[in-house]
Amino acid sequence: MNIIGKWKVKKIGVFQPDFSTKMCTPQEIEALEDFEDAEEYLNMASAIVEFLPDGTMNTLFPVTKELEEQLIAEGKEIVDGFGIMDTTTWKEENGEYFYDTKIKGEIFGEKVSSLEKLEIEDDCILVSHMLLEKLEK
């Protein structure tokens, strides 16, 4: 599978009261009654993840004109009405894809890799509690 291109959120992991995660579509989140975090999850579900050929992975969010001015003042890049909110790297190794979580640490004194495998299932990519599907042009 070629992951280069833009991907939209198909489902997002919603944390449950029992500390589990349930994968929900944006429509399912909208339908939840008395869910105080719905707006936050819907904002996350509006993200676009872009994999560039140079190994860059951008997370993009739609921005209003008012927010666009603020983000530009903060040095954020705006592309086609989307602000680049996070940038990291990705790579392919032996037919598998990985992205840099930027999480650093050690386990029992041994450094652990900040790379996490991108799970591919049914032409979708699972990355950080988001199930992504290719954005059609």
Q: Where does the pLDDT of residue 125 fall: very low under 50, low under 70, confident under 90, or very high at 90 and above? A: very high
Q: Which of 86, 90, 132, 96 is nearest to 115 (CA)?
A: 90
Q: What is the pLDDT of residues 70-113, one digit of tens each?
A: 888 888 888 888 888 899 999 999 999 999 999 888 888 888 88
> Is residue 114, in this structure, part of any structural domain at all?
no
The dihedral region occupied by 131, where left means phi > 0, alpha psi between -120 and 50, and beta the remainder, is beta
> Is residue 20, in this structure, part of any structural domain at all?
yes
Could you tell me which residues are beta bridge partners of residue 137? Answer: none
Q: What is the pTM of this model?
A: 0.84
> Is residue 29, in this structure, part of any structural domain at all?
yes
> Is residue 43, in this structure, part of any structural domain at all?
yes
**Beta-sheet strands, E only, within the chain:** 5-15, 21-24, 48-51, 56-62, 78-79, 82-93, 96-100, 106-107, 110-111, 115-121, 124-127, 130-134
Q: Which residue would you say has higher pLDDT here, 128 or 12?
A: 12
Domain count, the chain: 1
